[in-house]
Each structure stands twice: as C-alpha cells, then as structure tokens.
Structure 1
C-alpha cells in the first residue's frame, strides 16, 4: 500500500472539508474571510483549482514554490504593499501547519521564507508645493516633458498607483454630464471600481500629450508610455533639483500620499480607495504628524486672543497660508461661504 493510500485512510473528510475546518476555527469573521480568500487565491495560482477540487497530491509543495509565489505577489499589477504580501503568505503557511498536525504528507517548514520588510511607512512624506514644483520643472525636459508633467499631476491629484497610471487609457476618462469636470474610472485592489474626478484644466494637460510627434506612433489607447526606468530617473533628478535629502525617503508612492494631508480621515479613506480605515490612518498620521502641535504642549500654551489684533492683514494671511494644506483648504471654503453670504445680502 502506498504512502498516499495510508494517508487517505487517516482522513474522514476531503481536503476542502479540512481546509474549511481550519478556516472555521477562527472566531473573527473578518479573519475567516481573509484567510479563505488568501488560500483560494494561492491554490488558484499554484494548481489552477478551487479548493473544492483539491486532492492530497495537489497540496504537496516545495520551498521554491513559496518563493515563486512571493515573487508573483510582489510583482503583481495590483502593486500589493509588503505587509499585504506577508499576510497572504502567512495564511497559507498557517494552513500547512494545520495539514502537518493532521498527518498530511507535507512539512510546514518547506513554506518558511523570508518575510518582506514592513513598508507601511516606507514612502517618505512629500508635500503639495513640492509635487507642484516637480510638475513644473519636468516640463523643461526635452524628451516627454509634457507627458512626465501630466503623469506627476495625475499621481498627486488622483492618488493612483504607478502601475494604475501606466495602464490608464483614454477611454477610462469621461466628462461628467452635469458638472465641469471629468471622471477617471479604474479598477483598484480587490477588483473594486474606483472613480476619481479631475479638473478640466488637468484633462487639457493630458490632451496636450497627443500633439507631440513621438506620440503618434502609439496605437494602444494608453495615455502614458513612461517606463519604470524613466520614472525612476525622472524622480531622482527632480529630488536633486529641489534639494530633497535621501533620508526623507521620497519615492514615487509618496505622490499617492500627498492627498492624505487634505480633508478628514474619512475623505482620505475614500480618495485612497482603502477598504479599512486603519490603513488610511497609517498614511494620514504619518503625513500629518507634527509633535510641535501636540496636546501636551498646547495645554501649556496660554496666548491671549488679542495677539491677533496686533497683526496686519498681510501678516495674518501669511500665517494662514503657512498652515497645513487641509486647514488652508477649509479656511478658503469658509471664506468663500462668507463672501457668498455677503453677496446674497446685497442682492436681497
């Protein structure tokens, strides 16, 4: 009798029943769903099978298979964060420990691979005025200057990932029939549709790309044709021009995080297309972290309101414009409301 036949005799249920037993042992519904999704995705990649179709032969695995799977996830077009890749792999590793305990012909140590570094704060902070300067400076490039500038503007305005921007097509942008802006539709992580509006001005900047002679050779419908190498060299050059130090760790993903400095946490979550607000909070806190404004310092900071009366109009405006971008945006909206109310009173 073969080893496989002996093992089969040890199991009352099928492989998929045991997998579902493993998933069901977790109390958290969120954990159960997350593990099931991770395990299903793995076996679809590994054996091109749903878990309901798996046999004992299908679950045999080598260490090199897990290394290949990790590489597959790292290079995936969805652009998974390292922490996400680690979570997907951890679910599979945990399942194989369960398999081994239940005397399947596998060794869980074969799935042990180096975990990826936690990159939740890997992308250093980049601020709006710096991103805007970059878009202006790169216009001077003789080769693809307009395309590079529009690419940067789209990056910090929409917060789309680099791979998403590279795959963006003209057909993904439609005018909003009731307003003077355009809607960009993409498919984000988890297959979720994500729609972000852009201004008419930005759309017109995109259209300018079509006017260049080199662009006429492209017939794939894509807006941008910048390679990873071109983007990397472009960003390195711009950082040098702006004097951005290496220790700030500004990478292309930093453009995506510019928006985290605007609006509320909920608004940032929607804009960044995060499923979990705790993910948004990591970026939001990282971008907005300023210990000089901490409660422990402000509670001791007793300054009379009359100090504002000692400033000129220009001094007040200068102070306001130096505040956090989200604060400035809110002040401008409030100011617009005041102006609108004044005009309404005059008209009445």
Structure 2
C-alpha cells in the first residue's frame, strides 16, 4: 500500500489528469484521421486547453494543474456570469459560444469520474448574427497605440506595437498573441507574416521594414519581462490583460460605449482604408483574409451612409474653381501634406504621367 501522503498527492492531481485524458482524445482522433503515429497535438486540443485554463483562472483563480474535486461544484449563475464576462471582454457571440461549448464538453467528460453539476452548463446559444463591433479610422486607432505607450503602467511598448501591428495586418487578437518571430519572412523589401487562424486557416499579410525594425526592439524588452509561456512569442501578454487595457484606453479617450469599440475594431481599420483609397472590394477582402465578400461587407466595412454624398445628389453639383487663382504655391503644398493617401497618390501618378 502507498504511504498516506503519496495517496493524497496523487488525488490532488486526479482532476488535472482527467482533463488531460479528455484533451488526449482530440489528439487521438486527429492523428488517426491523418494516419500519424507520432501523436502530435491537435489544434482542437490546443484551443480547448486554452479555453479551460481561461475558465478556471477567471472563476477560481486556479491553474488546471491544481484543481480539486470540490472546485467542480459550479452553479448555473456562475456559468452565466462567466459568459457575460466573456462578452464584456470583447469576444464575439460566436467565440463565446465556441468557448462555452468546449468547457461544457469537458465537464460532461469529467462527470464520469467526479460529481459535476452538468446542468449548470446547459445554456442557450447566443445569437451570432446581431453583434457588430465599432469602426474607427486610422488616426483614432493610432491614438489608441500612442495613449497605451504614454499611460499604461506595464509593457507600454509591447501594447503600442500590438495595436500598430493589429492595424496593419488586420489579424485577430488570438492570432496576434500566437505570433512568433519565425512567422515573419522578408519578401521584396517588406515582411510577410503568416499564421494559422480561425478554423485553422492560414492567414497572411505584410508590414513595412520600418515597422518590423521597431517590433524587433521587443526581443530585448521581452528578455527582461516575466513570462511563463513560449519565449519565442512576440506579444507576451494575455487576452485578459489586453481587454483590461482597452477598457482603460476607451475611458482615457472618451470613446462612447455605444460605438462598441473593442480590440477587434483595429482589424477593420486597414480594410476600410483599402476600400477608401483604392475603391477595390477584392483588395479589401484580401487585406482581411476574407474568402467571402458578403462577410466582408456585412461585418467589416463602414456602412454608415451620408445621404448628402449620394451619387444622385453629387451629380447635380457644380464645383466653382475660381478660388484657385487666389492660392499660393505654399497653400497647395500645405494642402497636399495634410491630404489623405489617395489625394497624394493621385498627385504622384499625375506627375509621372503628364
């Protein structure tokens, strides 16, 4: 017979071991399907484990390694409160549904070995068609980045760069938080970045060499920071910390709550910028890694309509250009400097082709 203290130690890890057994099933199914005998970790396992760690950390402030059977005694109000927390943290309804489904699945599995109130996890799915995140322009978005750098108490530079890279790549937060240095590749003077994203789809985009060199400064900064995860991760920060940062920044910048500006709003910036400057929906869809233009139009393009700018109204307008005679060369230069990208690009093309 084992000594009593050893029995106690084994029992302390029983819940954790059963969670690992639950996760191992996903690896088994994936590797059987691929006829792979090396038992590689599946993407489903990685996603479920992340969701479970987040769940127990937020509700109990515990890592899954330290769970005991008493920790599994949840009431329905606890689960409803957790789901509300996920929504308020900027997760889409579809993401919340996915997270809750993975947690419920694990609890059903654990109920065979422990006393789990599975009925507490019987919640109706959230409507996935009604939620739309707020849209901000490039100037506003970059103000978020600068405000984070100037006012945040911890990891100021990391937070600034996280926002800037989000604006330029249109990547989702979970994709950004999984980025490693080897995800970047130097191509034709810019840096291509690729990662597995939603539904295991490979998403790619690019940032300038200038921004990449600024990002490289994080390598040394990260070495001096506390981080328990993979040291090759670029943005060494949790989803929860990012959501709390967004709450603070919205208050500092007096962003009206009705605008529903969340971190996901940064994903929309370059998509709308592309559409505004080039007028090409296909390039905007490319920027957002969208396979469907319908999804792009419904969820990412600014559909707010200014009726004074309707084509039928503007067709009737006549622009009086008589004021041009009174402008100086310096007036024109100042106008061009303050103009948007499209005006400046039109001027460059005009000079080239005249």
| TM-score interval, normalised by the smaller of the two chains | 0.5 to 0.7
2:136 maps to which residue? Answer: 126
Which residue in 2 is equivalent to 1:204? 213
Distance (Å, rounded) in 2 between the aligned partners of 1:276 and 1:289: 22
Query: TM-score scaled by structure 2?
Result: 0.58
For residue 275 of structure 1, the aligned residue among 291, 304, 320 is 291
Q: Does 1:165 align with 2:176?
A: yes
Equivalenced residues, count: 245
Q: Which residue of 2 aligns with 1:331?
A: 343
Q: Does the Cα contact within 8 Å between 1:209 and 1:215 map onto a contact in 2?
A: no
Q: CA RMSD in A?
A: 3.9
Distance 1:250 1:206 in 2: 25
Once residues 313 and 271 of structure 1 are traced to their aligned partners in structure 2, the CA distance between those partners, rounded to angstroms, is 37
Alignment partners' CA distance in 1, 2:145 and 2:303 = 20
Cα pair 1:150 1:206 within 8 Å, conserved = yes
Change (3 A) 1:266 1:287: same
Q: CA deviation at 1:319?
A: 6.4
Task: Give the 5 Å matches for 1:42-81.
Answer: none
Once the two structures are TM-superposed, the CA of residue 257 in structure 1 deviates from its matched residue by 0.5
Larger Rg: 1
Q: Matched residues in 1 for 2:283 and 2:192: separation?
A: 17
Corresponding residue for residue 294 of structure 1 = 310
Contact 1:135 1:153 in 2 (8 A): yes
Aligned residue among 188, 201, 212 for 2:197: 188
Using the TM superposition, give the Cα deviation of residue 316 of structure 1 relative to its aligned residue in structure 2, in angstroms.
5.7
Contact 1:123 1:250 survives alignment (8 Å): yes
Unmatched segments (≥5 aa) in structure 1:
1-43, 51-67, 87-110, 343-348
Q: Is the 8 A contact 1:261 1:287 kept in 2?
A: no
Q: Relative to 1, partners in 2 of residues 1:338 and 1:307: Cα closer, same or farther, differing over 3 Å?
A: same
TM-score under structure 1 length normalisation: 0.59
Q: Does the CA-based 8 Å contact 2:145-2:161 persist in structure 1? A: yes
**1:174 counterpart residue number:** 185
Please say if residues 272 and 302 of structure 2, whose CA atoms lie closer than 8 Å, have aligned partners that are also in contact.
no
Which residue of the partner structure matches residue 250 of structure 2? 239
Indicate the SS of the match to 1:138: helix
- Alignment match of 1:152 (pick from 163, 171, 174): 163
Match of 1:255 in 2: 266
Partner of 1:138: 148
